[in-house]
Structure 1
Amino acid sequence: MHHNKYPSSRYSTPRRLRRCACLAVAAVAVGGSSGCMTSFKEYVHNGFKVGPNYCKPAVPVSDEWVEARDTRLSSEPVDLRDWWGVFNDPCLDELIRISYAENLTVRDAGYRVLEARALRQVAVGGLFPQQQQATGSYTRTQISDESGFGGAGFGGGQIDIWQLGGQLAWELDFWGRFRRAIESANAELDASVEAYDDVLVILVSDVASTYVEIRTLQQRIAYAEQNVESQSGSLRIATDLFEGGAAGKLDVTQAQTNLSQTEALIPQLRLQLRQATNRLCVLMGRPPEDLSPLLAMSPAKIPTSPKQVVAGIPAELVRRRPDVRQAERLVAQQSARIGIAEADLYPAFSITGNLGWQAPTFNRMFQTSAFTGSISPGFTWNILNYGRLRANVAAQDALFQQRVAQYQQTVLEAHREAEDAIAAFLRYQEQAEALTKSADAALESSDLVQQLYKGGQTDFGRVFVAELALVNQQDAKAVAEGQIAQGLVDIYRSLGGGWQVRLGGPTRLPVVIPAEDAESVPTPLPAEETPAEEAPSEVTPEEAKEPTINLPVFAAK
């Protein structure tokens, strides 16, 4: 059986909870019962497992972007493996390479994947005898002379017993409890891999965003320093004219006001620059340090963005974004847990046995006559806790419905983020174009009015206004140019770009962890090759060994 594509299942109402007949096998074994939640037909169809087989929920996704008619937006297929290459900036390439190798948050996420892999092996172990023990002992018993066993030949004697053997207890996976647990662990492992990928997406975009911020601040500082130099010249001219009696004191004070105001802007920008470089150091897994040598790899200018961006189609978000895929894997995990909870409703069949050798002397231990053993099939059934167990099934199903709603909400949020980023990128281009014209006009106006002031053809008030406008317009222009680059970064982040570098190819970047912990961290298939998410009806021996995912290797440090 399958969950419907919308968050409603056959567990949703009490009427449906009661509609299934008891499993025929359970009826034979225990004389019949009521309230079973999986019909015998479904039980067989599911591969002799109770509970639902998982089916990926449907999600609402648009066919095209809201801005699809804008020629600057292309819906052609997009390769996001090295999306930051559109900036053609060697420094940014190096920063991402270092951050990818050294970032501690990425390393933490990698260890979480290793944890999930280990826990999956624990779940696989449930298919085999759950208790196994090897036993051995030697016992010497001194019989009392007053024990009353003298007539039987034991009075005052000794009894030696050597014993060696083993015992096991095996709960059979009759209802699929342990196979559902493996399905749950597989989904949890996949979710941890998607969380790892999401960390990579965030890391790459954070490095790029911080780099854009650094270059933007450097450009703003450069503009401010140029204006300080220009305004210092204006102050000297006003001072000379004042001292020569050709201008009033007001010209000098206005010139000083402009200059001091612009000078005050520089320390604030330098503080922001230092804070940005400190954040970049942390992203690179380093304590704060001077990054000037590294930043010198490229000119100190804002990364140039292409006019057009290739964004694919909205439907690709579901396959590409790791946070969306993680939310979907959590739905699959919870679906399997419904089956685990339902298995508690039915009797647990088990086999308990032991075998070994027992003899009064060690040299007789392994004789045929010393062999002993027993086997005891049986079952246990929590019939007096039936209401609690049924309530647990309902609770697990309610949690499944929550996971479905969360998954669908994640898709909606992902779509909104992408639409917001695309709109911002396009509008920032238009804003920057207007501000560039404004800044160029302000620069020309400032030059013209200064020439007029030198020639005595205008008062300093017009110089004051022109210089102030130039500072503001050039600063706004730099901010707008940075917003264009930031908007492009946001687009690629919202599209789920960056984690694909782990799938191989010439640009693949190794993740570095300590050599003694060098392990394989599993990653999913490329989004374009991900198979349907429906769980198999039964766990095969091959599936019990390893899930179907790629395993890129950690590099030794």
Structure 2
Amino acid sequence: MLNLLPLGAGALLTACASVGPDFSWVSPPPLPSAAFPTDFGATSAALVPGAVDAEWWQSFDDPELTSLIQRAWAANHDIGIATARLDEARAMLRESRQGYLPQGGVGVSHDNFRRSEVETAPGQARRSETYRAAIDASWEIDLFGRVRRSAEAAHADAGSREALLRGVQASVAAAVAASWFELSGIEAELGVVADITQSQRDSLRLVEGLVEAGSANELDRLRAEAALRSVEVEAPELERRRTVASNALAILLGETPQTFVVPSSSTARPILAVKTITVGDPATLLVRRPDIAAAELSLAAATARIGVETAGLYPQLEIQGSIGVVAGSLGSTGGSSALSSLFAPLLRWSFLDTGRVRARIAASEARAREALIRYDQAVLRALEETDNAFGAFSAAGTALQLRLQEASVTEQAASLARAQFSHGEGIYLEVLDAERADFASRRALVVARTNQRLAIVSIYKSLGGGWVPCTRADIDCGGASGASDTRFTGLLPGA
């Protein structure tokens, strides 16, 4: 009868399917709160269909920016933490897959037992020795998919951690680009302040000369000096902002602010090279956005764990076996008489615990519903971020065009006012007003250029760009841990 048990177990193994719901890899899963759009509805001529460029920073034609992003991938602490969490999830996946295989090991023991006279039967020795050496093994026959569902959940967890690592990588790339552009913008503002300061000094000298010649009064001189001081006071605040931006960039690169050396910026190129941005469609957004992929995989893991708990309602079949030697002395362990073996099929069924099992099933189903809502929330937030980024990009482009026109007009007005005043025409108050407007418009133009660059960064971040598979030999994606051998292994569906 016992010899038929393995055959019966095999029949059950092939006949029984895994219990619990199967997760369907359909993108997107059904969204309970809203219909999924077919397009972004973007109206800007600069936003066109097409595959999103993963390495979008290359569009800026700025080698320093590319170098900074790669340095951050190799040394950033957030990436290092995400890498360690991915390594942990992969190790847990390897452990869960061991459930398909027999478990066991080698056991060696020596018992030296001495009985009391009361415990010893007549004619028996009070002392006895036993030497045992055996290979023990047990194997769970996965009749109802408990092991399989556990492995599915671990696989989905590892995929979610991989997606989160990609998300951190994309966020770091965007943060480096944003810090770099802010730093470049501040440098440009400092340049404007320096130019205007020199212009105000020249105006002050001009007014002082006119005062000496009797063509201007002391009030004009005081106004000219006040205008100079109002420009000079802008520099310390800009220096403070430059230090803050530099320190933020240093932390992103895993360096101390005190030792970080800021590369020379490319503020001499005011014209942005990026003319059009390929945005794809909402369906491809689901594939690219790491946070959406992570939410979908978390839903898959929660679904698989329903099956793990459901398997507790059914019997669990385990095959236990052992082979070894048992002898009363070391010299006797080599004989055939010392051989010992055990084959023990074991059927467990905790039918009295069905109430607890059903409670755990209900809890796992609730967690799966939560995961579905979180997925829905991630999709909606992605669509919101994308729409906001498109709006910001359009507004930034319009503002930049208007600022360019404004700067051209105010520059001409300031030049004309200075020329007229130097020839004795007009009053110095008109010069002051024109120069203030020129100063404000030139700074506003620098800010508008910076905002346009930041808007482009926001678009690519919202579209899911900014990470690359860690398969290229020239890119280290290990983060602060230095684990340069950490590679994306296709744990994500379709990867």
CA distance in 2, matches of 1:82, 1:518: 19
3-state SS in 1 of match to 2:468: helix
The question of 1:252 aligning with 2:218 is answered no
Contact 2:73 2:79 in 1 (8 A): yes
Q: Which residue of 1 aligns with 2:304?
A: 336
Q: Contact 2:321–2:343 (CA<8 Å) still a contact in 1?
A: yes
Residue by residue over 1:376-408, the C-alpha shift from the partner in whole angstroms, topping out at 9 and shown as x without a partner, is 323233333322211211111111111111111
Q: Distance in 2 between the 1:466 and 1:124 partners?
A: 75
Q: How many residues align?
A: 479
TM-score, normalised relative to structure 1:
0.80
Sequence identity percentage: 28
The aligned counterpart of 2:4 is: none
Of the three residues 332, 338, 355, the one matched with 1:387 is 355
Cα distance in 1 for partners of 2:484, 2:260 equals 30
Query: 1:124 aligns to what?
Result: 97
Q: 2:66 aligned to 93, 102, 105, which one?
A: 93
Q: Which sections of structure 1, spanning at least 5 residues, go unmatched?
A: 1-27, 30-42, 532-548, 550-557
Alignment of 1:267 with 2:236, yes or no, is yes
**How many angstroms does 1:365 deviate by?**
1.2
Task: Name the counterpart of 1:65.
Answer: 40
**Distance apart, 1:206 and its partner CA:** 0.8
| One-letter amino acid matched to 2:326 | Q
Change (3 A) 1:79 1:104: same
Q: Which amino acid aligns with 2:54?
A: R
In 2, Cα distance between equivalents of 1:293 and 1:389: 60
Q: Which has the higher contact order (CA 8 A, sep 6+)?
A: 2
> 2:395 corresponds to which residue?
427
Asked if the contact 2:470–2:487 (Cα under 8 Å) also holds between the matched residues in 1, the reply is no
Equivalent position SS for 2:86: helix
Letter in 2 for 1:65: F
In the alignment, is the contact (CA less than 8 A) between 1:191 and 1:326 conserved in 2?
yes
State which of 135, 149, 165 in structure 1 corresponds to 2:121: 149
Whole-Å separation in 2 of the counterparts to 1:135 and 1:512: 41
Cα distance between partner residues in 1 of 2:253 and 2:246:
10
Q: Which residue of 1 aligns with 2:108?
A: 136
| CA offsets 1:341-400 (integer angstroms, 9 cap, x no match) | 111122222233333222222222132222223333232333333222112111111111
In structure 2, the partner of 1:486 is 454
SS at 1:58 equivalent: coil
Quote the offset at 1:308 in angstroms: 2.4
The corresponding residue for 1:554 is none
Kindly indicate whether the alpha-carbon contact (under 8 Å) linking 2:80 and 2:481 is maintained by their aligned counterparts in 1. Answer: no
Indicate conservation of the 8 Å contact 1:277/1:288, yes or no.
yes
Q: Distance in 2 between matches of 1:163 and 1:407?
A: 56
What is the SS of the residue equivalent to 1:122? helix
Structure 1 position 305, deviation (Å): 4.3
User: Quick one: structure 1 residues 202 and 517, their matched pair in 2 at CA, closer, same or farther if it must change by over 3 Å?
Assistant: closer
Separation (CA, whole Å) in 2 of partners of 1:139 and 1:510: 56
Shift of 1:44: 8.0
Q: Secondary structure at the match of 1:294?
A: coil
The Cα shift of 1:201 comes to 0.6
Matching of residue 183 in structure 1 with residue 152 in structure 2: yes
Which of 340, 354, 360 matches 2:328?
360
Whole-angstrom distance in 2 between the partners of 1:517 and 1:271: 35
Q: Establish whether residue 443 from structure 1 lines up as the match of residue 411 from structure 2.
A: yes
Shift of 1:238: 1.9
Once residues 352 and 270 of structure 2 are traced to their aligned partners in structure 1, the CA distance between those partners, rounded to angstroms, is 71
Is the contact made by 2:79 and 2:478 (CA closer than 8 Å) also made in structure 1? Answer: no
The CA deviation at 1:522 is 3.0
- Residue 122 (structure 1) shift: 1.1
Correspondence for 1:201? 170
- The aligned residue for residue 553 of structure 1 is none
C-alpha displacement of 1:289:
4.7
Q: How far did residue 136 of structure 1 move?
A: 2.1
- How far does residue 48 in structure 1 lie from its aligned partner after superposition? 1.5
- Give the whole-Å Cα distance in 1 for the aligned partners of 2:274 and 2:127: 95
**Larger deviation: 392-401 or 51-60?**
51-60
Q: Describe the SS at the equivalent of 2:354.
A: helix
Distance 2:482 2:55 in 1: 30
1:204 CA displacement: 0.9
Match of 1:467 in 2: 435
Counterpart residue identity of residue 368, structure 1 = S
58-67 vs 393-402, which deviates more? 58-67
Distance (whole Å) between structure 1 residues aligned to residue 440 and residue 133 of structure 2: 90
Amino acid at match of 2:431: V
Please tell me the residue identity of whatever aligns with 1:391.
A
DSSP-derived class of the 1:53 partner: coil
* Alignment gaps of 5+ in structure 2: 1-7
Say if 1:391 and 1:241 are closer, same or farther in 2 by CA, change over 3 A.
same
* Pairwise CA distance, 1:292: 5.8
SS in structure 1 of the partner of residue 470 of structure 2? helix
Tell me the distance in 2 between the aligned counterparts of 1:224 and 1:409.
Answer: 45
Which SS does the other structure have where 1:136 is aligned?
Answer: strand
Q: Deviations over 1:9-57 (max 9, x none)?
A: xxxxxxxxxxxxxxxxxxx99xxxxxxxxxxxxx989x62100111142
CA distance in 1: counterparts of 2:260 and 2:483, whole angstroms: 30
Please list, as runs of the form range in 1=range in 2, the aligned pairs for 1:101-116 lying within 5 A after superposition.
101-116=74-89
CA distance in structure 2 between the aligned counterparts of 1:161 and 1:101, rounded to whole angstroms: 59
What SS does structure 1 have at the residue aligned with 2:451? helix
1:521 deviates by 3.0
1:223 partner SS: helix
1:93-146 CA deviation, whole Å, 9 max, x = no partner?
Answer: 22122222222221221121111111111111222334x242222233445566
The answer to whether the 8 A contact 1:181-1:337 is kept is yes
Residue aligned with 2:214, SS? coil
Is the 2:89–2:158 Cα contact (8 Å) retained in structure 1?
A: yes
- State the distance in 1 between where 2:213 and 2:482 align: 79
Give the letter for the 1:74 counterpart. V
TM-score by length of 2: 0.90
CA RMSD of the aligned region, Å?
A: 2.6
How far did 1:253 drift?
1.8
Q: Residue type matched to 2:110 in 1?
A: Y
Confirm or deny: 8 A CA contact 2:18 2:146 kept in the other structure. yes
CA 124–442 in structure 1, closer or farther in 2 if over 3 Å, else same: same
Question: What SS is found at the alignment partner of 2:318?
Answer: strand
Please tell me whether residue 304 in structure 1 is matched to residue 272 in structure 2. yes
Q: Which residue of the partner structure matches residue 511 of structure 1?
A: 477
Once residues 402 and 349 of structure 1 are traced to their aligned partners in structure 2, the CA distance between those partners, rounded to angstroms, is: 33
Structure-2 separation of matches of 1:342 and 1:225:
72
